[in-house]
Structure 1
Amino acid sequence: MKESESRFRGWLLRETGIDPDSLGNEFLTRALTERVHALQADGERLLSAARPPVTQEALDAYWQQLNASADERRALIELFVVPETWFFRDREAFATLARLAAERFAAMPGRVIRVLSAPCSTGEEPYSAAMALLDAGLEPSSFAIDAIDLSARAIEQARLGCYGRNAFRGTATEFRARYFTPANDGWLLDERVRACVQFRHANLVDPGADTGIRYDFVFCRNVLIYFDRDAQDRVIRSLDGLLVDDGMLFVGPAETGVAMRHGMRAARVPLAFAFHREPAGAVADAYAARPAAPLHTAAPYRRAERFTVAPVAAPRPVVAVAPPAWLGDGLPPFAATPPAAFDARAGRSVVTAEAAAPVVEGIAPTLEDAQALANAGAFDEAERVLAQFSARVGPHADAFYLNGLIADARGRAAEAGDFYRKALYLRPTHHEALTHLATLLDVGGDRAGAQWLLERARRSAG
């Protein structure tokens, strides 16, 4: 990064925890250029291609403006907020929330289940939590959802509760008919759901005074990947302090290593990316037993200098993998837990390794079959099904991606990288393959290559 911009990078890290490098090598330069030109005396807004380079004098003047104006500080921060979210993103997290919340309320009918969404972006996550809890049979009076975000613009949009097509992804969007009404510019969320969530403008890395409220469930997903290590540590410590003793933290699929680094214990629910607080004393034991070389899991986008995965004493019966695009966010995920009927309202299905393994003779195996087997830990069988699928349909980006996940989970990094590259050859915008390959490059020391892939992934998500 240019020396003249280092002060802005330091300021952004202190204020938000966001590492501009995680958004791409030139992201900070582009953001500063946009704000400098927006504040020019003539007020003319130029297209990016038509903007002349920003001079050192202009940067110096903007630095003074930034320090003098709270409005300008908010405007610059808004450019670094990543509002990539949709309803029921990673559905198993919400199915887990609904199941455990119902169990806790049944055990203690008088208690209020408390949920925190931090950051909440434009509201899809906390509203999904509210709908999941209502679908689980909980009355609005039996739970409370707090939602915070650094972006005042996002909070304002969340409170409006009106959403366009991009907020509804995947195939299971039946909840829209129950909780939304068509509007001129999209769909308007039912007031009953909106009333379940209290939004507040707040900084995740500087939460302020402790209110004394403790939460049963905290969602902090897909934001820690943009923070530097110091900010990650501060946020995890803060969130851990906000959990009740048996509380649960949900992170993004790329952030599992952060929770493990702080001694949190995986809930072992595939695709939920959920963690419990570790009992006192267990953290030190876990760190003492850690091997010198990090182990690879299927968690994507883990940076070598940021994440160290806790050791696995025995082969894991379950691998939690990020749902590939072909599943859609709405298809029921699979988990290696005792069999249970599919709950259409919670969007959850569970499969044991024994139940998942057989492939019916005469019926062509599908990618969903391979996904179920992989989630159940039946890697050999999953690879066999993928081979049969590929022989039938030919090269397929999502089949290569799933092969990569299995190789990654088995610690075969070079093989996993080859599979991810094949997926990207067939589909250059394959978001999950981009983020997983970025992890492998970063762990291997190619930070520039990893950042380039992450920037591509960010553009593909937009």
Structure 2
Amino acid sequence: MVAVDPRFEAWLSHETGIDAPSLGPNTLERAVLDRTRAMLAARGMPHTVDAVDAAALDAYWLRLNTAPDERQALIEALVVPETWFFRDREAFVTLARVVGEKLAREPMRVLRILSAPCSTGEEPYSAAMALLDAGIDPARFTIDAIDISTRAIEQARRAVYGRNAFRGHPLTFRDRHFTEAAGGWQLSDTVRGLVRFAQGNLSDAPADDTRYDFIFCRNVLIYFHRDAQDQAIRRLDSQLAEDGMIFVGPAETGLMMRHAMTSARIPLAFAFQRTAAGETGARAPLPFRLPLPPEPAASAVGLPGVALPSVPVRPVAARVPAPSRPRPAPSLAAGPVAHPLARPVLPTIPEIEAVLGEPPTVAQARRLADAGNLDEAERVALEIANLRAPEADTFYLLGLIADARGRHADAGDFYRKALYLEPAHYEALTHLAALLDVAGDTVAARQLMLRAERALARQGKTPAASSESGTPEHTRGTHGARRP
């Protein structure tokens, strides 16, 4: 089998919605060959195990279509879950805040949350911990979680997690909700009892007419073919409450805007709501077709001759005068955090400059954006882009800010600048792909996604080797498609 057998590629598309090439080069081929060899060995044919011929593939094709357990086994071979707690923290910050606001208005309401796909449970458990840590009464919410992988569901129910499930800082939630156990950390019974797991597939019709106030479906849709994307989004929309909210991955915002969905305009949460009748919340098509940025073999020096969009920039020459009476110097560090959802109190840019005696950095601009101060974050990033040696991350951050504000043509320009400086910048590739896709240029969008996969492969992070939510790292369970 030199290339993917069309029969198996079509089967995978129909069964799961996954576009086989999105899994990485030869991933489906290797899985089919492994399962065929396993079938031959089980039949006592060891002399043919190493040489899979056309007859053996025909026999496996018959088994795949007649044995439900083999269908699930092949899906499990393609699903490689890898995720961690509180990944993309802003989504959980938003969940806790909006749940609190809804319950303040309707104290007796019970809010419903769905995680689909849920992989090995880190996402729905993070939602549960976020709500508990925000003081939400467990009687006021329910959490359902589905995944196509029965193996992932079993691991989620055991709720014992190793070191890779705990990434970033702070990890104070682990002290509150976990105890050390053999092989890792065991989640508390309190949190485990708040999530109901079930095996399920996004391509299937809903089992009932339950409506959810919040749905997490992050970083899986980009691995589906277009029809499967539309079908999954329609299903999610049918299960969304009238005032509900859907969280997607950063590269999937364009997919949502193909449908009647409007950005909730919450920085870095990538949250969407159903567009109300008469509103024009959907993203307008780009006024031009963005050309693909080049993919040079070596890093380029300098910027392409494209002017920055016209954004007012306040002068930065003035320094804050010394105060008339002593006061503590502002700290740049966030300091101790009470729990993983706490927001740091950030100093202003003039204060930073006064204390450090030097201009701020991209890291400080990102912190400002994370805290919701988009005006100041944009000002800092533009200052860096205009007055210093540019970096790809600077333009990527400017693209995120422009995207969050609905300036999608500007966002595309910034992502292209980032790719000019760093052709293998994965996030810029996926975000620009989303812009191209919503503009109708699906061929160019697909080319960019393939470039993103190649960039990861060069770093040794192929989807097959890794697998939530942000690197195509995980076949995020519910659908077996890997999440970036």
Could you state the TM-score of these two structures normalised by the residue count of structure 2? Answer: 0.73
SS of the aligned residue for 2:383 comes to helix
SS of the aligned residue for 1:416 comes to helix
CA distance in 2, matches of 1:207, 1:357: 55
Aligned residue in 1 for 2:33: 33
CA distance in 2, matches of 1:103, 1:216: 13
Identical counterparts, % of pairs:
51
Aligned residue in 2 for 1:22: 22
- Give yes or no for contact 1:438–1:450 (8 Å, CA) kept in 2: no
CA distance in 1, matches of 2:257, 2:4: 37
Aligned residue in 2 for 1:336: none
SS of the aligned residue for 1:39 comes to helix
SS of the aligned residue for 2:250 comes to coil
- Give yes or no for contact 2:250–2:431 (8 Å, CA) kept in 1: no
Which among 154, 162, 181 is matched to residue 183 of structure 1?
181
SS of the aligned residue for 2:213 comes to strand
Aligned residue in 2 for 1:11: 11
Aligned residue in 1 for 2:327: none
- The alignment status of 1:233 with 2:230, answered yes or no, reads yes
CA RMSD of aligned residues (A): 3.6
SS of the aligned residue for 1:119 comes to coil
Residues 243-298 of structure 1: CA deviation (Å, up to 9, x unaligned): 11100000011111111111211011111110011113446x858x63453679xx
Any unmatched runs of 5+ in structure 1? 297-313, 318-340, 425-429
Q: 1:281 to 1:384 in 2, by over 3 A?
A: closer
Q: Supply the AA of the counterpart residue of 1:185.
A: G
Q: Supply the AA of the counterpart residue of 2:341.
A: G
Residues 380-425 of structure 1: CA deviation (Å, up to 9, x unaligned): 521434788x87xxx9xxx53343443685332542212223xx5x
Between the two proteins, the alignment pairs up a number of residues equal to: 400
Larger radius of gyration between Structure 1 and Structure 2: 2
Which among 132, 136, 142 is matched to residue 134 of structure 2?
136
CA distance in 2, matches of 1:228, 1:58: 29
Moved over 6 A (4+): 1-4, 314-317, 437-441
CA distance in 2, matches of 1:156, 1:71: 16
- Give yes or no for contact 1:435–1:453 (8 Å, CA) kept in 2: no
Aligned residue in 1 for 2:145: 147
Q: 1:232 to 1:374 in 2, by over 3 A?
A: same
- Give yes or no for contact 2:119–2:147 (8 Å, CA) kept in 1: yes
Q: Supply the AA of the counterpart residue of 1:172.
A: P
Residues 306-348 of structure 1: CA deviation (Å, up to 9, x unaligned): xxxxxxxx9999xxxxxxxxxxxxxxxxxxxxxxx99743524
- Give yes or no for contact 1:17–1:205 (8 Å, CA) kept in 2: yes
CA distance in 2, matches of 1:434, 1:99: 31
Query: Residue 351 of structure 1: CA displacement?
Result: 7.9
Aligned residue in 2 for 1:371: 366
Query: Residue 358 of structure 1: CA displacement?
Result: 5.9
Q: Supply the AA of the counterpart residue of 1:28.
A: L
Between stretches 6-15 and 369-378, larger displacement belongs to 369-378
Query: Residue 432 of structure 1: CA displacement?
Result: 3.9
Q: Supply the AA of the counterpart residue of 1:360.
A: E
CA distance in 2, matches of 1:406, 1:108: 38
Aligned residue in 1 for 2:398: 406
Alignment of 1:398-437 (within 5 A): 400-406=392-398, 409=402, 410=410, 411-412=412-413, 413-421=415-423, 432=427, 435=430
Query: Residue 93 of structure 1: CA displacement?
Result: 0.3
CA distance in 1, matches of 2:14, 2:205: 13
CA distance in 2, matches of 1:177, 1:139: 20
- Give yes or no for contact 2:426–2:452 (8 Å, CA) kept in 1: no
Aligned residue in 1 for 2:221: 224
Q: Supply the AA of the counterpart residue of 2:39.
A: L
Query: Residue 61 of structure 1: CA displacement?
Result: 1.1
- Give yes or no for contact 1:420–1:434 (8 Å, CA) kept in 2: no
Greater relative contact order (Cα 8 A, min sep 6): structure 1 or 2? 2
- Give yes or no for contact 2:259–2:282 (8 Å, CA) kept in 1: no
CA distance in 2, matches of 1:205, 1:356: 48
- Give yes or no for contact 2:262–2:282 (8 Å, CA) kept in 1: no
Q: 1:239 to 1:157 in 2, by over 3 A?
A: same
Q: 1:63 to 1:188 in 2, by over 3 A?
A: same
SS of the aligned residue for 1:87 comes to coil
Query: Residue 135 of structure 1: CA displacement?
Result: 1.0
Q: Supply the AA of the counterpart residue of 1:155.
A: I
Any unmatched runs of 5+ in structure 2? 292-308, 313-334, 403-409, 437-442, 474-484
Q: Supply the AA of the counterpart residue of 2:420.
A: D
CA distance in 2, matches of 1:88, 1:104: 22
- The alignment status of 1:360 with 2:353, answered yes or no, reads yes
Q: Supply the AA of the counterpart residue of 2:380.
A: E
Residues 85-142 of structure 1: CA deviation (Å, up to 9, x unaligned): 1100111100100011011111111110110000100000000000011111112111
Which among 269, 285, 288 is matched to residue 290 of structure 1?
285
